[in-house]
Structure 1
Amino acid sequence: MAEREMNMAKPTLLLIDGNSLAFRAFYAMINQVERFVNHEGLHTNALVAFNNFLDGIVEPFDPDYALVAWDAGKTTFRTDKYDDYKGNRDKTPSELSEQFPYLREMVTLHGIYSYELPNYEADDIIGTTAKDAQAKGFDVTIVTGDRDMLQLVDEHIEVWITKKGVSELEHNDLAMVDEKYDGLTPAQIVDVKGLQGDTSDNYPGVAGIGPKTAIKLIKAYHSIPELYEHIDELKANKQKEKLVNGEADAKMSRDLARIRTDAPVEFELDDLKYTGPDYENIIPFYQQLDFKQQLAKLANQGHVLGASISGDASEETAAPSTTPVPLIRLSEDPTDLIPDYTDEISFYVELDDADYHTAAPVGFIFGNEAQGYVVGRDIDVLLIDPVKTMLENADVKKRVFNAKALYVLFLRYEVELQGLEYDILLMSYLVDTNDNSNDLGALAQQNDYYDVQTDEAVYGKGVKFEIPEDDQIFFEHLGQKARALEILPARLLQKLDDREQTDLYKNMELPLSIVLAEMEATGIKVDSQRLLMMGNDLAERLSDLEQKIYQEAGHEFNIQSPKQLGVVLFEEMGYKPIKKTKTGYSTSVEVLEQMQDVPIVKMILEYRQIAKIKSTYVEGLLRVVHGSDSKVHTHYIQTLTQTGRLSSTDPNLQNIPVRLEEGRLIRQAFVPSSSDCVLVSSDYSQIELRVLAHISGDKNMQAAFNADEDIHAATARRIFNLPEGEDIDPNMRRKAKAVNFGIVYGISDFGLAKNIGVSRKEAKEIIDTYFAEYPGIKQWSENIIDFARENGYVETMAHRRRYLPDMHAKNFNVRSFAERTAMNTPIQGSAADIIKIAMLNVQKALETEGLKTRMLLQVHDELIFEVPKAELEIIHELVPKVMDSAMALDVPLKVSSHEGATWYDAK
């Protein structure tokens, strides 16, 4: 015990191999090198990983002294001894070279001594410092990616070697070195390296001598000098011949491998005292690098953040308030405490679950900086006057987070929120669709405001989620959120103005959120009995298929197990494997579809499809039918997709399969809520191709649409050079359709060949012909890619932006995907804009006409309505007319409308 206490009292020294870890940090995130770029164009992937490493290593080791050693350059005493030392290494990528000055600065700002020594490597600085510290009674820890450092291990020096990037470390002490090198000492590692050589450092060793032989020889003769002293005693054979011929290389390689412990370093151990981060200067450093997560972490720890230097020069990050957020606690009579809010307020309600259709409110805050805030836990306070009147007063502008969720929530309490002016969630999404978060704290930090913690930091996550019982903790967090709502709108509005997106926000997305809220709250009725019957039918189908599959296989097995299925198909039945994985044979859909001529495979594909329909769309829907109204209430997400398309979840009603009859039949379960109503589907026809014809300005495609031709037949006629009047073969039309929609997504000859079953050569000829026949599309596609490359983003017709940081990626596949995205986004995004405008206009028309028809669902290019039978004639005329005129294009928009007793019948 006394010895242990004495050891614990020893000073500790942490030595870090800077170059080794910098390279590992860079290559650990090499696939994201073009994503991690700050506002000045500096690549930061190595900086991000290295910073995480420093934060993760210093704290657990908690050293008294610390040093990061760097290589001063490629020329050292070793290159003087051997010209080709490390000569096989590629030139350091410029993306990493530009980060080295900042890496050194980062180390210093972390309170760690940073040092390099001309003519020596980082290894020698570390070796010299380690042995000096050990002699003076220190316990030393070395962190590196270089196993040569193991030669320094002894009783008071341990080496941690990076295994995966810089996130995983392997501990090495005397016992572990003894085990790895079969009883050799750390000092003998240089002798092993001298014999076997080192391909990484490019010194030769003895030709033909590998690691196992090297260890065996050094175990027998202790060192290279002793080995050659006894060389004559060795049995004459090939091995001896190799050793004799390689003596000079062995001794040179041993010398090159030996880490120097007497390098002329110009510092004392006292200079290496670890002082901790320099917060005053590390904050602007992080701001320069756009390290938002680190800044948020520091802000949450109570460190004051100054002005941000990221983004536009005019933008500033508000410094944290030096005074606490003014909170007014509620009494039994809230009317005495509520100020006369007549202008603007921030308003936030905390829920105990993400599903705002059913979640319980557990806290709220409203108010402003000038008059103070009202905060509490009892939602009933908000449901009585004067608070209810204020919430329903459109003249009192509200700053909120997720207006749609808030509106749906209060509809449950028969409160119709008005004056929802600033939705931080929507505004931030429009500014940059790449940064999406449903947490106000995370979103605020993405927009350079750090005075609010994330919910995860305060409440926990998943099963650990819990609203604090302590009012001070809970109300302080709500106060932070309210102040974020106070600060962020002006900053985001400025960005929207700069991007010409203010109209997109105010006149499309914000009003649409209320339309969506009404649709969600209305819901659509589900005939649960019909779903149950479908489930029973599907279960019988699955049971029949199971027996047939077992009969083909010769025994029962788990059909849903890829491993068991692989054994059955490729081992027992002897079919040739198409693709293997790390765990066995691939039985993916892509693989099995290439084997459909095999009876058992065809049945397995059918089994999988039916099983998915049963579990996802029958059982899944039954789980989310509300008992109170027999309806499902989907959640429309406005802030998820980067094209602006709406997303549906819980349940996803946009993804019900339509290609399989079993999937289409699911729509039979969606019915009107009253026998006096029917469902009406109004669907845009080929809206994306019409958008393409408009934005490309291609005269040939525009002519086809203006003449109301079948666009796929017209394309088939052009790409297959068919004369006018000749009937179009259905297979040709199918291929033309694949080309039309493939072009929208920037399809390659490889992709098209796979889709339509032709050779790549033929597919390339088809694409070339397509562009020759539609030259405007060819020119537009080239122009939009050039625009994206120059500006870093593309826009829809309504100025919805999508940023494309990978346009300059060095990786061909990554860059190609960005180019395809640059083509697709303006088309798909503009189509999304059009249907959103249509939804707004239809809703306004329904209200203006005083109709009882309700819009229930949006499924991509289709709107579903519940229509009283008495209003059918009006709706069939009104809705297509309004949808057709949503946006003026150079080609007509076309809407088809159908009615039915179920959603299935309305199609």
Structure 2
Amino acid sequence: MKLMVLDGNSLAYRAFFALPTDMVTASGQVTNSVYGFTSMLLTLLRDHKPEGIIVVFDRKEKTFRHEAAPEYKAQREAQPDILYQQLDLIRELLNAMGIVAIDAAGFEGDDLIATIAERAQQSGDDLIIVTGDRDNYQLVSDPHIRVLYNKRGVSDYALYDEAGIFERTGVTPKQYADYAALRGDPSDNLDGVPGVGEKTAAKLIVKYLTLENIFDHADEQTPKLKQALIENRERVTRNAKLMVLRRDAPVEIDIHESMPKPRVDDVKKMFATFEFRTMNARFLEALKHFPIDLSQAGISDANSAESPVVNSDEQSASVLSAVVSICKDANSALAALKSNTVSDIAAAWVGDPGRSELLGIAVVTDKKTHAVSWITKSLLTESSVKKFLLANWQFRGHNIKPLLRSLLLLGIDLKHMKLDTAIAAYLLDPSESRYEISQVVERYTGLLFGSVATSTQEGQLS
């Protein structure tokens, strides 16, 4: 079985600090963490298609680690109330989605993850651990247990197996707790050996294999390192034990009974309350690979507020197509460029955009009739056309940077871009991974691109 477990607190915190706190509903509820967390969750479901998913959370009470080390996490400031409020909302949303969410008094979420990983390993199940906490590196075990590490923000991940952990840290997953104790963990307020950073810690672990051996061979080190090892042995040894994640936490669920059981109508209502206009369509898409009967959920109805529902008679109207004419000379090119106050444009290249020869640009001349003019590279460099482009010509497009690069090589420096819809799509949803123009248009309008003709001829592209 292919399972996925999410570190709920870690991802919610990442979302909160990655997205602006002015994401507020009309009623005044801040939703940046809920939005970011939900976006990450749905993207993970869509891209990795797990058969079961579990989300774990920390509790506010102290754990056995706080009792063993009073300084443990003592430096951490209280998180803003608007974050704690959203953690409750995230759990309510997970409940509506029918996604298992667990916590346990006296244990951290990482211990629950470790216990789930142990059970998955014993039963031969594949598990992806999604977290922004490096302590989970110690759980990686080929071929079944991997960590999808959230490096920053809401969309930057790295997937690690045992080789990946060694490449990243210089030690194996089983050695990670000793390595972390040596170098220290500022996020948990657990000091390491003074003067020992990541590289030195890895070298010592590789040479001596265990923490005990490192301290036993302190005499072999430089005088400064020898003294630091001797003076900090007891504390660092204690810290290493605390850094080992517990694999016997009270996880009272059957990890094989973790397929979502959504109450689709409730989820839709919550998205409406949060004013997440496109999230319901993404939620339904993310569920497609699960053997869930959504026939009574009204999938078309659920999408109706977000994108057009098109029947067979209207299908042709839902497909974007263009009537293309090829500019024959500089005058026709100038007419196309002057047809609108702000020109909508796209470009084509022989190979990679911006890094191969530019073929030309397409300019929308009449939106109502879907009229588009094609201007070749040779016409773009005509003196009159070039002069017009260098003046006050205003334009917008999708992922414009490659075109700007290509035009600069032709001596054309465009300075009046009004909008790049790729950037706009990212700002709307930074956790999304698909920003091609066809994907963005379909996501926000429900419209599809027509197929492109294999050769550029005047007439209908369909």
Q: TM-score, normalised by structure 2?
A: 0.64
Task: Pick closer, same or farther for the CA change 1:303–1:214 going to 2, 3 Å.
Answer: same
Distance 1:299 1:170 in 2: 26
Residue in 2 aligned with 1:220?
A: 207
Letter in 1 for 2:315: I
Q: Given that residues 42 and 282 in structure 2 are in contact (C-alpha distance below 8 angstroms), is that contact kept between their aligned partners in structure 1? A: no
Q: Given that residues 53 and 260 in structure 2 are in contact (C-alpha distance below 8 angstroms), is that contact kept between their aligned partners in structure 1? A: no
Distance 2:306 2:15 in 1: 30
Residue in 2 aligned with 1:25?
A: 15
Q: Does 1:187 align with 2:210?
A: no
Q: Does 1:615 align with 2:457?
A: no
Residue in 2 aligned with 1:205?
A: 192
Q: Given that residues 320 and 451 in structure 1 are in contact (C-alpha distance below 8 angstroms), is that contact kept between their aligned partners in structure 2? A: no
What's the CA shift for 1:236? 6.0
Letter in 2 for 1:101: D
| Structure 1, unpaired ranges of 5+ | 1-10, 307-318, 323-444, 459-467, 479-527, 533-610, 624-654, 656-907
Q: Given that residues 7 and 130 in structure 2 are in contact (C-alpha distance below 8 angstroms), is that contact kept between their aligned partners in structure 1? A: yes
Query: Per-residue CA shift, 1:477-528, capped at 9, x if unaligned?
Result: 59xxxxxxxxxxxxxxxxxxxxxxxxxxxxxxxxxxxxxxxxxxxxxxxxx9
1:164 to 130, 148, 152: 152
Q: Does 1:66 align with 2:49?
A: no
Distance 2:70 2:238 in 1: 12
Residue in 1 aligned with 2:266?
A: 281
Q: Does 1:450 align with 2:438?
A: no
Paired residues, number: 327
Letter in 2 for 1:22: A
What's the CA shift for 1:612? 12
What's the CA shift for 1:234? 2.4
Query: Per-residue CA shift, 1:29-67, capped at 9, x if unaligned?
Result: 0xx211x11233211011111111111101222222221
1:473 to 307, 310, 315: 315
What's the CA shift for 1:321? 7.7
What's the CA shift for 1:140? 1.3
Helix, strand or coil at the partner of 1:99:
helix
Q: Given that residues 206 and 249 in structure 1 are in contact (C-alpha distance below 8 angstroms), is that contact kept between their aligned partners in structure 2? A: no
Residue in 2 aligned with 1:627?
A: none
Letter in 1 for 2:272: Q
Helix, strand or coil at the partner of 2:45:
helix
Q: Given that residues 42 and 283 in structure 2 are in contact (C-alpha distance below 8 angstroms), is that contact kept between their aligned partners in structure 1? A: no
Distance 2:59 2:191 in 1: 24
Task: Pick closer, same or farther for the CA change 1:619–1:119 going to 2, 3 Å.
Answer: closer
What's the CA shift for 1:474? 2.9
Task: Pick closer, same or farther for the CA change 1:33–1:612 going to 2, 3 Å.
Answer: farther
Residue in 2 aligned with 1:16?
A: 6
Superposed, 1:622-701 pairs within 5 Å as: none
Q: Does 1:255 align with 2:28?
A: no
Helix, strand or coil at the partner of 1:262:
coil
What's the CA shift for 1:617? 7.9
Distance 2:202 2:227 in 1: 18
What's the CA shift for 1:172? 0.4
Distance 2:168 2:229 in 1: 24
2:162 to 168, 174, 178: 174
What's the CA shift for 1:194? 0.9
Q: Given that residues 278 and 306 in structure 2 are in contact (C-alpha distance below 8 angstroms), is that contact kept between their aligned partners in structure 1? A: no
Distance 1:134 1:299 in 2: 30
Q: Given that residues 299 and 451 in structure 1 are in contact (C-alpha distance below 8 angstroms), is that contact kept between their aligned partners in structure 2? A: no
Distance 2:272 2:226 in 1: 62
| Structure 2, unpaired ranges of 5+ | 289-293, 320-330, 336-383, 396-417, 419-462
Task: Pick closer, same or farther for the CA change 1:257–1:451 going to 2, 3 Å.
Answer: closer
Helix, strand or coil at the partner of 1:73:
coil
Distance 1:235 1:620 in 2: 68
Letter in 2 for 1:268: D
Q: Given that residues 151 and 190 in structure 1 are in contact (C-alpha distance below 8 angstroms), is that contact kept between their aligned partners in structure 2? A: yes
Residue in 1 aligned with 2:220?
A: 234
Helix, strand or coil at the partner of 2:267:
helix
Task: Pick closer, same or farther for the CA change 1:88–1:619 going to 2, 3 Å.
Answer: closer
Helix, strand or coil at the partner of 1:208:
coil
Distance 1:209 1:97 in 2: 36
Distance 1:72 1:321 in 2: 38
What's the CA shift for 1:235? 4.5
Coordinate RMSD, CA, aligned: 3.5
What's the CA shift for 1:620? 5.2
Letter in 1 for 2:388: S
Distance 2:253 2:284 in 1: 35
Distance 2:296 2:387 in 1: 55
Query: Per-residue CA shift, 1:178-217, capped at 9, x if unaligned?
Result: 22233x3211011111111111111011122211111111
Residue in 2 aligned with 1:78?
A: 65
Residue in 1 aligned with 2:124?
A: 137
Distance 1:70 1:137 in 2: 25
| Greater C-alpha radius of gyration | 1
Task: Pick closer, same or farther for the CA change 1:238–1:320 going to 2, 3 Å.
Answer: closer
Instruction: Give the helix-richer structure, 1 or 2.
Output: 1
Q: Does 1:104 align with 2:91?
A: yes
Distance 1:164 1:123 in 2: 19
Distance 1:265 1:219 in 2: 34
Distance 1:53 1:613 in 2: 44
Superposed, 1:326-365 pairs within 5 Å as: none
Q: Percent identity?
A: 31
What's the CA shift for 1:118? 0.8
2:76 to 47, 67, 89: 89
Distance 1:160 1:214 in 2: 24
Q: Given that residues 140 and 161 in structure 2 are in contact (C-alpha distance below 8 angstroms), is that contact kept between their aligned partners in structure 1? A: yes
Task: Pick closer, same or farther for the CA change 1:321–1:171 going to 2, 3 Å.
Answer: closer
Q: Given that residues 42 and 98 in structure 1 are in contact (C-alpha distance below 8 angstroms), is that contact kept between their aligned partners in structure 2? A: no
Task: Pick closer, same or farther for the CA change 1:263–1:297 going to 2, 3 Å.
Answer: closer
Query: Per-residue CA shift, 1:252-271, capped at 9, x if unaligned?
Result: 2212221111112222324x
Query: Per-residue CA shift, 1:838-868, capped at 9, x if unaligned?
Result: xxxxxxxxxxxxxxxxxxxxxxxxxxxxxxx
Distance 2:74 2:232 in 1: 20
Residue in 1 aligned with 2:324?
A: none
What's the CA shift for 1:221? 1.4
Q: Does 1:266 align with 2:256?
A: no
